[in-house]
Amino acid sequence: MSGQDTRLTNHEVTICLAGGAVLGPFNATWTRNEGGDVRELVREYDAYLQGEKQHRFKFHLHDTYTNTVHTLILEFGNVTGICDHVRLNSHTD
C-alpha cells in the first residue's frame, strides 16, 4: 500500500430543512488530498448539534460523475438533518 491514500469515497448527500423542504441528493466525491467539503459539512453540522457555534456557512461538493461543483450556503438553524450515503468501492487485490 502506498503512503498516499488516493481512494475515492462516493457520497450522496441529502439535506433536510425545517418545514419539510429537501436539498439534493447531491453526488460528491472525496479523497484525502482533493475534493470538496462533504466530510467537513457533516463534521460541522455534528459539532453544531453538540452545542458549538456555526463557523462555516459555505460548502463545496465536488461531483466527479458530472464534473461539477455544488456550492451550498447553509444556516444550520434551518437544517433538521443531513444524510451522507457513502457508496464503498469494492476491490480485489
Q: How confident is the model at residue 5 (pLDDT cuts 50, 70, 90)?
A: very low
Statement: residue 89 has pLDDT above 90: no
- Residues whose CB falls within 8 Å of the CB of residue 39, separated by 6 or more in sequence, listed in order: 30
| Lowest-pLDDT range of 29-33, 69-73, 74-78 | 29-33
- Per the CB < 8 A criterion, the answer to whether 85 and 6 are in contact is no
Report the amino acid identity of residue 77. G
Average pLDDT of the segment spanning 25-38? 78
Q: How confident is the model at residue 21 (pLDDT cuts 50, 70, 90)?
A: very high
Percent of the chain's residues with pLDDT above 70: 81
pLDDT tens profile 37-73: 888 999 999 999 999 999 999 999 988 888 899 999 9
Please give the Cα distance from 68 to 2 (Å, whole number). Answer: 29
